[in-house]
Structure 1
Amino acid sequence: MIKGFYSAVTAMVTNSNLQELLAHNAANIDTPGFKQVLGTVEQFWQTPVVFPPGNLQNLSQMTYNGLLGLGSQSAPQVTDFTQGAMQLTGNMFDVGIEGEGYFRIETPDGERYTRDGRFLRDAEGLLVTVDGHYVLDENGNQITMPNGDITIDQNGNVMADGAALATIDLVFFEDPQAALTPDQGNLFTTEETPIADGTVRMLQGYLEMSNVNPTQLMTQLVEVARSYEAAQKMVQNQDELLGKAISTLGRIG
């Protein structure tokens, strides 16, 4: 009975965590470069299930029958790094990444990485993100953007009036899943050294959109809500059964 209560309560907590994660994905469904976070569930407090032999004096012959989970919990979150759809914006400062790679960004807390190519020219004429962080070139320097029309080719070369100004830097990781950790906003951090090159092209006037699938997200939200309600009813049932058991024991005593 107590096991059933624990299982139901942990299921409620787990589904509540999944709801928060899905809500985070929903809030960023229109955020360029956003990578959805996937939630998984695992068993915890697993205990061995054994059956004693017919002769209780020989307990060394107990039969092992696997593990019994006493509840569920949220497993470590996983970021889905699959490519998002490319959307035409026509903004000359917007840059979409098609393929591998991450923009290198300078923030007050150090370098960060992102797929969000919504760039602007700030008051000082520097190329920045929508959050005001500096976009870096291949030498790790800030990029000055003069007034007038700017051209950015597929290799990230920035040109004005036919003159090369800088090259937007892209960094690559052999295994982004293992290398990158989500940070504030739409940024990632890493403790690994980027690899030399990758398969990529940059598209001026485009943005890579979020890789959240709206239909799939709605289905998941409904499933998690139903699972939470089922666990909630189970808690109520277990509570009623426990109350009846205590009442019965009181009368027997």
Structure 2
Amino acid sequence: MIRGLYSAASGMLVAQSQVDATANNLANVDTSGFKRAVLQVESAPVLDLYRYQVEPGQVQGHGTRGVPAREHVGVLGLGAQVYDTPTSFEQGALQKTGDPLDLALTGPGFFRVATPAGDRYTRDGGFARNPQGMLVTQAGQPVLSATGAPIVLAQGPFSVDGDGTVRQSGAPVGQLSIVRFNSLRNLRPQGDNLFVDEGAGAAPDTATAVQQGYLEKSTVNVVRSMVDLISAERFFDANSKAVTLEDQALGLAVQSVGSVR
């Protein structure tokens, strides 16, 4: 009976995690370059069950449960648990803006930006130009060049080639640092639409193209996310009712045992 409480409670925790992940996805449906999170669920660790008995000729003392028999009688499942919440890095659709500061990536690469905590990576190419002329993110982090230095622009128009080369008056002033990773599972979201690499590091990427005047749209599908949200809420309610029923049954069992004369 107690096992039922644990199983239902674990289901509620999984459902709550699904609601949290889906709500965060929906909150970023209009965030450029945002990549949706996907909840991965697995069975909770099972417990092995063994039969306990008193061997022939053994005197059972007070409180003794006997000695474990050699026979394995089964396993006890404890519901489900969240395994991971990885990011899905599929390519987003491109939206034309006409703004020269808007840059979109087509391919697996990422922009590299500088933060006080070290280099971070993003697909959000909605950049700006700060008072010092540096190309920065909307949060003010400098966008880095292939040499690791910030991209600094003079007054006036500029253009960006497909390989990330930044030009003013036809002359190159730098090249955007576009990098890729052998394993995207090592990238973890860090806020401000940035990712940190927890793996072996980034490598220059020549397969990804830059398109000026475009932004990559969020990969969140509103309809699918709403369906996921409703399903998670119903799953939570079902497990909540199961907890209530288990609690009522446990209360009746305690009352029945207590009333035995």
Query: Which of the residues 111, 131, 148 maps onto 1:103?
Result: 111
- Answer yes or no: is the 8 Å Cα contact 2:177–2:204 preserved in 1: no
CA separation in 2, counterparts of 1:136 and 1:162? Answer: 20
TM-score by length of 2: 0.89
TM alignment of 1:49-198, pairs within 5 A: 49=49, 59-60=69-70, 62-63=71-72, 65=74, 67-177=75-185, 179-191=186-198, 192-198=200-206
Distance 1:162 1:198, change over 3 A: closer
- Equivalent position amino acid for 1:35 in 2: K
CA contact (8 A) 1:172 1:198 kept: no
Unpaired runs of at least 5, structure 2: 57-67
State the 1:63 CA deviation.
5.0
Q: Is the 8 A contact 2:163 2:206 kept in 1?
A: no
Identity, in percent, stands at 36
Looking at structure 1, the residues matched to 166 and 206 of structure 2 have their Cα atoms a distance apart, in angstroms, of 20
Residue 26 of structure 1 deviates from its aligned partner by 0.9
Match of 2:247 in 1: 239
Letter in 2 for 1:124: Q
Alignment partner of 1:211: what SS? coil
Unaligned residue ranges in structure 1 (runs of 5+): none
Aligned length: 249
Per the alignment, in what secondary structure is the counterpart of residue 37 of structure 1?
coil
C-alpha offsets along residues 148-187 of structure 1, whole Å, 9 cap, x if unaligned? Answer: 211111111111121111111101111112x312112211
Matches within 5 A, 1:211-250: 211-250=219-258
Pairwise CA distance, 1:198? 4.5
Letter in 2 for 1:190: D
| 3-state SS, counterpart of residue 38 of structure 1 | coil
**Who wins on radius of gyration, i.e. which is larger?**
2
Q: Is the 8 A contact 1:100 1:198 kept in 2?
A: no
User: Conserved in 1, the CA contact under 8 Å of 2:43 and 2:80?
Assistant: yes
CA separation in 2, counterparts of 1:216 and 1:6?
30
**What RMSD in Å do the two structures reach over aligned CA positions?**
2.1
Code of the residue aligned with 1:21 in structure 2: it is A
User: 2: CA distance between counterparts of 1:36 and 1:232?
Assistant: 28
- The offset of 1:64, in angstroms, is 5.4
2:65 equivalent in structure 1: none
